[in-house]
Structures are given as C-alpha cells and as structure tokens.
Amino acid sequence: MTSPRALPRRLGAAVLALALTLAPVAALAVQPNEVLADPAQEARAREISENLRCLVCQNQSIDDSNADLARELRLLVREQVAAGKTNAQVTDYLVSRYGDFILLKPPVNARTAILWIAPFATLAFAAAMVWARARRRLVSAAASAPLSEEERRRLDAALKCDPAAERPKT
C-alpha cells in the first residue's frame, strides 16, 4: 500500500511521462517530403503556416497540426511560395477560399469586430451580474435583519433626540 505522500509524486511522474510521449507529435507535423529545397522559401512557408489556423484542430496552426487538411494546406502554401507569390498573396488566396477564420489572428474590421469585442463584453457583463447580485444580497440582508429590543430602544431614543438616552458603550 502506498502512502498518501507518494501519490502526488506518482501523479506528477505520470503527467511528465505523458507530456514527454506527446511532445514529439507536434514536431513531426511537417513531413520531410513537404520541405522545400530552398531554405529561404522554406522559412517563408513556415512563417506563413504558423499564422494559419488548422480548420480541423481550430486552435493549432497548420504548421503544428497532423490533420490531413493541414497537410494539404501546408503543401498549397509551399506550392505558392515556390511559384514566387508573396506572403500577402498566399495569405489573401487562403482568406478568399476559407474566410478570415483561417487566420490565427484575424484582422479587426466590421466582420470580425464581434470576435474582438465579445470576450470583453462577456467579462463586463459577468462583473456587472456579480456586482448586482452582491448588492442585492447586502440590501436584502440589511432589510431582513430585525432589530433587537435594545437596538429598538436606542433607536427610538435617538430619534426623539432625548439627551437622557443611553449612549452606546465603547
């Protein structure tokens, strides 16, 4: 039987082993047969691919993804780079086919404004709801707490402005 102290160590070791096992997967996304012969063109293709979203994985670039669609998009990018297209031309071509969603960092414009505003609006709405709920609780707690006989007597005396009324002891 293992001690309770050994459990966190074993769990940490298991997580580390899993991370080390899965780490090479992203490094192997670009296959050797996809690499361009010219290092400058390959660097450009990688730069473009790092900024394009995998439409299957959605939160990975096509450079990091192992999905078949990502592989096809990487090959398309490399074909266009090899054909002499500029980075902007390659990106514009893919945006024309797949929309701004293909970009990991979509531009701020009228069509994508909701993508940029929604997180902040959601946070502001949540903060307003928390504030309103806390305020409502404080008001209802204060309104529902009845006064004790001693508090009521002191309040009546204070409202009458009776100088003989008892002062609270400090």
Listed residue (90, 89, 78, 91) closest to 36, CA to CA:
78
Residue 131 shares a structural domain with residue 147: yes
**Half-sphere exposure of 56 toward its Cβ, with a 13 Å CA cutoff?**
12
Domain count of the fold of the chain: 2
Token pair for residue 99?
Answer: 């929309």
**What average pLDDT score do residues 55-67 get?**
86
Q: CA-to-CA distance for 128 and 90, rounded, in angstroms?
A: 44
Percent share of the chain, pLDDT over 70: 74
Residue 57 belongs to domain with CATH number? 1.10.8.640
**What average pLDDT score do residues 101-116 get?**
83
Report which DSSP code applies to 3: -
Residue 90 shares a structural domain with residue 132: no
Q: Read out DSSP for 27-52?
A: HTSS-GGG--SSHHHHHHHHHHHHTB
| Beta-ladder partners of 53 | 61
- The lowest-confidence range among 19-28, 104-113, 145-154 is 19-28
Digit-coded pLDDT (tens) for 65-94: 888 898 999 999 999 998 999 999 999 999
Task: Give the model's pLDDT for residue 163.
Answer: 55
Residue 102 shares a structural domain with residue 118: no
Q: 51 with 104: CB under 8 angstroms?
A: yes
Length of the chain: 170
Q: 77 with 30: CB under 8 angstroms?
A: no
Task: Give the model's pLDDT for residue 27.
Answer: 46
Choose the most confident range, by mean pLDDT, from 74-83, 100-109, 122-131, 154-163.
122-131
- pLDDT of residue 44 exceeding 60: yes
Q: CA-to-CA distance for 100 and 92, rounded, in angstroms?
A: 9
Task: Give the model's pLDDT for residue 29.
Answer: 55
- pLDDT of residue 33 exceeding 60: no
153 versus 24: the higher-pLDDT residue is 153
16 versus 24: the higher-pLDDT residue is 16
Task: Give the model's pLDDT for residue 170.
Answer: 53
Of 92, 107, 122, the position where a domain reaches its end is: 107
Q: CA-to-CA distance for 30 and 123, rounded, in angstroms?
A: 38
Q: 53 with 101: CB under 8 angstroms?
A: yes
Residue 55 shares a structural domain with residue 73: yes
Q: What is the mean pLDDT of the chain?
A: 80
**Domain assignment present for 68:** yes
Residue 45 shares a structural domain with residue 103: yes
Q: CA-to-CA distance for 125 and 50, rounded, in angstroms?
A: 34
- Range of the structural domain that residue 137 is part of: 114-159
